[in-house]
Structure 1
Amino acid sequence: MSISFNGLGSGLAVSDIVDALVNSEQAPAEARLNTKEASLTTDISAVGALKSALEKVQTSMEALGDSDKYQQRSTSGTDDFISISADEDAQPGSYNVKVDALAQAHKLSSSAFTSDEAIGAGVITIGSGDNSFSTVLSATNTLEDLRDQINNGPFTGNDSNDSVVATIVTSDLGQHLVLTSKETGEENAIKITVQDSDGNNTDTGGLSRLAYDVTDADPLNHTTNLTEVNAAQNAQITIDGTLVVSSSTNEFSNVIDGVDITAKKLHDAADSGDISDISVTENNNNIKSGLSGFIASYNELLELSNTLGASGEDGVGVMAGDSLLRGVMSKLRDTITNSVNVEGNSLSLSQLGVTTDRYGVLSLDSDTLSDQINADVGSVQQFFVGSNDDDGGFAQSFDELMSFYTDSDGIIQNRIDSKTNQLDDLDDQRESLTSKMESLSSRLYAQYNAMDLLVASLNNTSSYVQAQLENMPGVVRQSN
């Protein structure tokens, strides 16, 4: 630590002199660092704004490269009786639909049993649709035991119950076993056969009291020891008054190309004037909305570019003359004028109604676009999306161009990272400058303090010599 004796010997303002000398060294260096920092910060901000604008343009074009958004179908006709949906395979048109029947699950109910009554020993086999399972009952099993075995097993062999739910309903007469198929439709009707321990598998005694089998074509061979509560029933609709369609569920998939219909409610005689009307129209709104979004984002980018690259009487932009800005805007202008080969013919954005004024601003001629869509929407889709035989259409090539600039390892981010590293270097230079100025200050204080002490010593010597001379014999002092 240096100690300053400001002016004790020399009378000089040592602190002021040292501060002035240090500041004369420090101020220009700090000014250079501040200027460099401002330049780097401004560049990072400008290039970051450019990247954001480019990403917005890139995103707007991505929507036009999604093939799933083309030739969609808009449908109308969902009402109290039906609901509908359609995909791109649906052809524009109109139809009327009448719901004749709703799908119904098969339900059977047994006669009454007491809670502790043995229902009979043997094997009972239950089938519904493609599923069939068997379970074994002992002479002491009750209706509740059978219900539990139907729902949870055990079953014989590798059987499993995927098709029937068993419940017990208790009436004034006793307990009734109720079986309901899990799936609707005639093909899921329940069939119950037994191997009764008494040897008679179809009578109304023992386990055969639960037999139900109406699969034989001859009604005389039917076994109906259970009561049918709800018949297994298919849904049925009539299209355009003549075309009858059945389904095991209430869903009719693709009965009209690309159109799915779900029946919800019967049309009865009172609803004859309310037959459901279905209308399918083609929806290509994504093209116009996509192009409009692209044009808006491009024009915003163009305005930003003009501001950043301005050079004239009104001022100079922060990226005036910058090769990055000139390069990306030049490539963009070239790209949006490019043509794409579509089935042997060239197609471009200008042919789709995208026009450019003398300042480069884009606009959309909706009539031209509509004419092109109506004439051949497939070609428009292929222009943007490409076909299965190539690497993609306009949207993909545009995305590849933008990615060169906007990717996390793209040219713009590399520039931002480089400038950020330079900012970090400035921090190191500031610390170095501070250390250097502290060293200079200490050295100057040491030099000036040494000078001050020397001057003080010389002054003391001068005073001593003067006093000795004055006290020598023969020396006459001057009177005041």
Structure 2
Amino acid sequence: MSSIDPATMAKQLATIETQKFQQRYSTQKSEYQDKLSAFGKIESALREFRTSVNEMNNSDSGIIKNTASTTEDGFFSASADSKALTGSYQIFVEQVASAHQVSTGMPDDLEATTRVPTTGTLSFTVDGETLALDLSSIDSDGDGVVTIADLNSAINNHPDNPGVNATLVRSNGKTHFMLASEKTGLKNSINVTASGTGEAWFESAFASLKEISPARDAVIWLGAKNTGLKLTESKNTFSNAIEGVDITLNKAQKSGDSAIGMDISADKSGTKEQLNKFVEAYNSLMSKVNEYSKVKGEDKKRPILANDPTLRGIESQLKSIVRGSFSGLRLNEIGIEIDRNGKMKIDADKLEKAQLNKSSALENLFNGDDQLLDSIDKAISPYLQFSSGLFKSRKDSLQESISRVGDKQVALDRKYKMSYDRYIKQFTQMNTLMRQMNQTMSLFG
């Protein structure tokens, strides 16, 4: 009677007992992991779509693009956003804005090591805001000595600085103490007073500032100088003086010069480029949704998220929105159509006619309050919230299912080990009995 291999037999029988459960758990875990991966990829695609939509739906970048051009370069530049109305204007640049710059009337032999008073106050006022600098507070090392370099640093680094830059300027062996306003315009003129220092030369220096560059407002005329509409601004950019148009000044014209022409016109290629981005972003998202939810191919293989309610919700809401009416228009009326496969495409001829005849309605359709792009963002938001979004909820649920399957697999491993240990004990005992029987039988030869 031959012996048996207890380890082999124990392994085979323990495997038979647990194999069907192991296969079931492995299949379940693989399915949950595939769904989790698919949700992650669709969530990523949805975030990319939302980012694209938001980039086209802000104050700096709308769907509709306009362009600004001038008849003469060098004096000013202009840009137009989607709110600008097409038209021609005449601009005369009388004066560019400048920042106030002054120097003190300190001694000609002023050096960075020159001592300044350690008592009293030096006050700076710009546009109604004041810094009252306590001169006793700028003695950084406590030796009772404050240099002009210490004063320079204290002004520039003070948290209450109202917008004044202090600078030491050296020329021909002399050092000058200068103050400059950070911003242009009359309202940003610098006013300085020194008091309570006990040093006449110091207080006199700030009482008799030498003006290097005056504070000026920018001045332009819509139309000819002195007969058109005069506009002033503290900075060199006039934002929305004409709605949707920014005018940035470079230099002033001479008296007697003619006003410069500025034309605002529709940027057809820029608008079409924006619309192409929107169409591509939409198609990319829907392609990803279809990849994981639609039966396709000759084998009619069922995708991992077929008939999933979350994907059906996204698809249904977005299709309803893009087929809806906004500002009295639908996308198909301006040349953006959705074919029977759900793919969005542009009819170039139809779009060009809409740009020509319905430009303001186009802007409202996409970028108006609570219109197309706002509606898309509102529909997407519940899916993408980090703490309570629908995608997070689905992924958390799948992760919990994976964890439960993992717990079952751990329990199954314990069951396998217990079965293996029981069988190996039984077959070891059987081997022992078989050897004993073989020995007994040999006695009877």
Tell me the number of residue pairs that the alignment of Structure 1 and Structure 2 aligns.
399
Q: State the identity as a percent.
A: 13
Map Cα deviations across residues 33-82 of structure 1 (whole Å, 9 max, x no partner).
45325522441354235324532452354243674253565544596543
Mapped to 1, the partners of 2:15 and 2:175 lie a distance apart of 103
For 1:260, the equivalent position in structure 2 comes to 246
For 1:472, the equivalent position in structure 2 comes to none
TM alignment of 1:136-155, pairs within 5 A: none
Q: CA deviation at 1:429?
A: 0.9
Mapped to 2, the partners of 1:239 and 1:148 lie a distance apart of 47
Counterparts in 2 of 1:112 and 1:38: CA distance versus 1, 3 Å = closer
For 1:6, the equivalent position in structure 2 comes to none
TM-score (norm 1): 0.60
Counterpart of 2:345 (choices 358, 361, 364) is 364
Counterparts in 2 of 1:255 and 1:402: CA distance versus 1, 3 Å = closer
Q: CA deviation at 1:211?
A: 6.2
Structure 2 letter corresponding to 1:289: K
For 2:28, the equivalent position in structure 1 comes to 40
Counterpart of 2:366 (choices 381, 384, 400) is 381
Unpaired segments ≥5 residues, structure 1:
1-11, 117-122, 137-144, 196-204, 213-225, 464-480
Paired residues of 2:97 and 2:235 also in contact (CA < 8 A): yes
Paired residues of 2:90 and 2:224 also in contact (CA < 8 A): yes
Structure 1 letter corresponding to 2:2: A
Unpaired segments ≥5 residues, structure 2:
112-120, 135-145, 196-200
Structure 2 letter corresponding to 1:50: A
Paired residues of 2:181 and 2:190 also in contact (CA < 8 A): yes
Map Cα deviations across residues 113-145 of structure 1 (whole Å, 9 max, x no partner).
6779xxxxxx99997764789999xxxxxxxx9
Mapped to 2, the partners of 1:454 and 1:334 lie a distance apart of 77
Paired residues of 1:112 and 1:175 also in contact (CA < 8 A): no
Q: CA deviation at 1:347?
A: 5.2
TM-score (norm 2): 0.64
Query: Does structure 1 residue 408 correspond to structure 2 residue 392?
Result: yes
Structure 1 letter corresponding to 2:343: L
Counterpart of 1:435 (choices 418, 422, 431) is 418
For 2:62, the equivalent position in structure 1 comes to 70
Mapped to 1, the partners of 2:377 and 2:214 lie a distance apart of 56
TM alignment of 1:32-431, pairs within 5 A: 32-62=20-50, 63-64=52-53, 67-68=57-58, 69-70=61-62, 74-76=66-68, 80-84=74-78, 89-95=83-89, 97-104=91-98, 105-107=100-102, 110=105, 130=128, 184-186=184-186, 229-242=212-225, 243=228, 244-267=230-253, 277=262, 279=264, 281=266, 286-306=274-294, 309=295, 315=299, 317=301, 319=303, 325=307, 327=309, 331=313, 334-338=316-320, 353-357=336-340, 360-367=341-348, 375=358, 376-377=361-362, 380-381=365-366, 386=370, 393-400=375-382, 407-410=391-394, 413-431=396-414
Structure 2 letter corresponding to 1:422: V
Map Cα deviations across residues 261-318 of structure 1 (whole Å, 9 max, x no partner).
332334469xx79958464647655444223211133134324434xx469xx54636
Paired residues of 2:292 and 2:303 also in contact (CA < 8 A): no
Mapped to 1, the partners of 2:313 and 2:169 lie a distance apart of 77
Q: CA deviation at 1:418?
A: 1.2
Map Cα deviations across residues 376-433 of structure 1 (whole Å, 9 max, x no partner).
22553379x7269xxx6244335546889952212x5524531452144224313421
For 2:440, the equivalent position in structure 1 comes to 457
SS at match of 2:393: coil
SS at match of 2:392: coil
Structure 2 letter corresponding to 1:237: I
CA RMSD, Structure 1 to Structure 2 (Å): 5.5
